[in-house]
Amino acid sequence: MLKRLLPLALATFAVGTDGYVIAGLLPSIAADLGVSTPAAGQLVTVFALTMALSAPVMGALTGGLDRRSALLIAFSVFVIGNAVTALGTSYEVVMAARIVTAAGAGIITSAASSTAAVIAPPERRGRALAFVLGGLTLATALGLPLGTLIGRTDWHITLWVVAGIGLLAAVGIAVGLPRVMLPAAALSDRLRPLKQGRVLALLAVTSLAFLGVYTLYTYIAPALREATGGNESLLTLILLVWGVGTLAGNIIAGRLVDRHDSTRVLAGTLVLATLALALTPLATRALVPTLVWAAVWGVTGGVIVVPQQHRLIALSPAAAPVLLGLNASALYIGVALGSGLGGLAQEWFGLAPAELGPVAAGITALTLLWHLGTTRSPARLAPMMAASASADPEKSKA
């Protein structure tokens, strides 16, 4: 099973590196393109929003293809978009290239996750999802700090590296992934679960959680300026600690949701995240407390996605591809809103980047309250969710 899951993890690593690395390069990009840092942050907003909106559309267009073919098409667009970004010399060109890249990336995470859910036996599904999503968290542990380090001389080089990772992921999928067919679903079928209040409530948890994360995370480089003194090597070290914490959180999450109630796992995580974010202005004044803060916050960020995916699959395993696709869109809606909110809070209210931490803490506390209201049993909705996956009566097969 590991041989089949490895290319999927590499695929999410490529997407994760692309999505995360911009945050570490934001000051350099802003200076090179002649825009403010909050304006450069909108590159993250547009990328995430495009991913959120394109994911169900691209999923419907490629729904009749086996997952290997769908992923290869998506990576073709992804690699081209990153290459154009690397060649970009103006804000407008880079913005357009990020939109193209996001359109390709839109279905990669959900396609990889749904394929992993089919390949893995039910009793190991949590760990399989954690392994594949570990590509995203490994991107924060290695992709983000290394990309930031490489981009010290020229941020364009980092984007060329990301394009190369995407090409390598495509080769791995072509060689290592078997033909996996999942039930096809038209766009209307993919959106039908949104009519169910239970599904909307769970997706809102995902969006709110990542809204809180990215309100601060998008502007992490300027937020840590006091702790790093502008030293990019120290910034890379902090980002590495944050990423290792995220990777540890992802590994822990996979084991926890296989053994414990996923709603409780997520609730405890949101409590810890709220505390860490609230302490941001105090914890990031010196290097040592910043490293501790980054590790704790990183762990919480690594846990969030796995229990959410587990809860959605529990609604109806037959509708897992549709539900995971919607969850990916909800995640990137949260990223887009958080990036936008963080930029507006600086532009309109004059907040320093580190002061975005308490704002993010308030959002995360709201997420916790909302999450606690979604813990009722989903069993009665399973038949309705299964109907959303019945567009193609053919059973999943690999």
The C-alpha atoms of residue 183 and residue 60 are separated, in whole angstroms, by 11
The C-alpha atoms of residue 147 and residue 20 are separated, in whole angstroms, by 9
More confident residue, 189 or 86: 86
| 8 Å CB contact between 60 and 187 | yes
Give the pLDDT confidence score for residue 143 in this predicted structure.
75
- Token pair, residue 162, equals 């990301």
The candidate with the shortest Cα–Cα distance to 18, out of 140, 192, 170, 116, is 140
SS3 content of the chain, % helix, strand, coil (to 5): 85, 0, 15
Please say if the pLDDT value at position 44 is more than 80.
yes
pLDDT tens digits, residue range 329-367? 898 899 889 989 999 999 999 999 999 999 999 999 999
| 8 Å CB contact between 199 and 324 | no
The candidate with the shortest Cα–Cα distance to 338, out of 295, 277, 285, 292, is 277
179: number of Cβ within 10 Å: 11
Helix, strand or coil, per DSSP, at residue 153: coil
Q: What is the CA angle 24-145-106, rounded to 5? A: 65
The C-alpha atoms of residue 8 and residue 132 are separated, in whole angstroms, by 6
Q: Which of 8-17, 58-67, 109-118, 382-391 comes out lowest in average pLDDT?
A: 382-391
The candidate with the shortest Cα–Cα distance to 35, out of 93, 99, 100, is 93
The candidate with the shortest Cα–Cα distance to 251, out of 111, 132, 116, is 132
The C-alpha atoms of residue 176 and residue 5 are separated, in whole angstroms, by 9
Sorting pLDDT into bands at 50, 70 and 90, what band is 183? low
More confident residue, 42 or 131: 42
Instruction: Name the DSSP class of 178.
Output: P
The candidate with the shortest Cα–Cα distance to 227, out of 216, 236, 218, is 236
The candidate with the shortest Cα–Cα distance to 173, out of 87, 76, 281, 304, is 76
The candidate with the shortest Cα–Cα distance to 252, out of 293, 284, 298, is 298
More confident residue, 64 or 239: 239
Please say if the pLDDT value at position 186 is more than 70.
no
pLDDT tens digits, residue range 134-159? 787 777 777 778 777 787 778 899 99
